[in-house]
Amino acid sequence: MKKELFNGVGRRKNSTARVYLSDGSGTFTVNKKSNIDAYLKRESLVIHAMKPLEVLNLKDKFDLTINVSGGGLTGQAGAIQLGIARALLKVDEEFRSQLKSHGLLTRDAREVERKKYGQPGARKKFQFSKR
């Protein structure tokens, strides 16, 4: 008997997360590390990434295997969150209303603004000297 696998892809900033859900006891594997706390390091990021499971009270119902790359830890946590939400939709389409009301199905489209020439950053200017 083969376990059914549901997948979802999440992106945030320069990070991409591929999330695979299967029925289980609530184990999380991120980039082959056995614990999500060991990978994301900060409790706030773990809470942010696991929000879709928390909203639906499914924390101990699924095993998650997550491959995430690119960007920093904050972007990766956001990508994991969107990937989990999209995978849960494939499990049951009736989760959509709850996930949508918490804003978990929207991709955060904010990106870093490019640096402009003649300035040290995107918005910052060199110090002006009148004389």
**β-sheet bridge partners, residue 49:** none
pLDDT on residue 121: 95
Distances from the Cα of 69 to the Cα of 24, 44, 53, 119, angstroms: 25, 19, 21, 31
Per-residue pLDDT of the chain (131 residues; tens, 9 = 90+): 567 889 999 999 999 999 999 988 888 899 987 788 888 889 999 999 999 999 999 888 899 999 999 999 999 999 999 999 999 999 999 999 999 999 999 999 999 999 999 999 999 999 999 98
What is the structure's pLDDT at 117?
96
Contact 10, 17 (CB under 8 A): yes
pLDDT in tens, 100-126: 999 999 999 999 999 999 999 999 999
Q: What is the pTM of this model?
A: 0.89
Q: In what helix (H) or strand (E) does residue 4 lie, and over which residues does it extend?
A: none
Q: Can you tell me the distance from the alpha carbon of 99 to that of 51, in angstroms, rounded to the nearest whole number?
A: 10
pLDDT at residue number 2: 63
- At residue 38's C-alpha, the angle toward residues 74 and 95, to 5°, is 60
CA–CA distance from 62 to each of 3, 32, 53 (Å)? 11, 17, 9
Which SS3 state, helix, strand or coil, does residue 12 take?
A: strand
Pick the CATH number of 5-101 from 3.40.640.10, 3.50.50.60, 3.40.50.720, 3.30.230.10: 3.30.230.10
Phi-psi region of 102 (alpha: psi -120 to 50; beta: other; left: phi over 0): alpha
Query: Which pLDDT score is estimated for 37?
Result: 87
